[in-house]
Amino acid sequence: MKKWIRVISGNSYLHTFLGVIVALTGLLEVGETLQDDFVNGKFHSGHGVVLIGVWHVLQSLSEIIEASDYLDDGLG
């Protein structure tokens, strides 16, 4: 069980996928009112969900890029 938890928690592609899903879910919630909310300063949980999703995607993509750099250095 411990091995599976490590495999799942260390999979950057899974984290990217989950981040995209979370960001899209948040955008679906606030998509129609996003511009109006920012203009009027009305922030709620949907905006936070979008930010968490985007942050998660960026973090996992940076891990993937870093790993590919290490792979490139090792092969080159």
pLDDT score, position 21:
94
Model-level pTM?
0.72
**Per-residue pLDDT tens over the stretch 30-69:** 888 877 887 888 888 888 888 999 999 999 888 888 888 7
Q: What are the boundaries of each domain within the chain?
A: 2-75
| pLDDT (0 to 100) of residue 76 | 55
Cα-based distances in Å from 74 to 39, 56, 65: 49, 27, 14
Structure-token pair, residue 44: 């709620």
The upper half-sphere exposure of residue 57, i.e. CA atoms within 13 Å in the direction of its Cβ, equals: 14
Pull the structure tokens for residue 73.
């250095």
Q: How many Cα atoms are found within 13 Å in the side-chain-facing hemisphere of 72?
A: 6
- What is the structure's pLDDT at 7? 84
- Tell me the pLDDT tens digit for each residue of 4-39: 888 888 888 898 999 999 999 988 888 888 778 878
For the chain, count helices (H), then strands (E).
4, 0
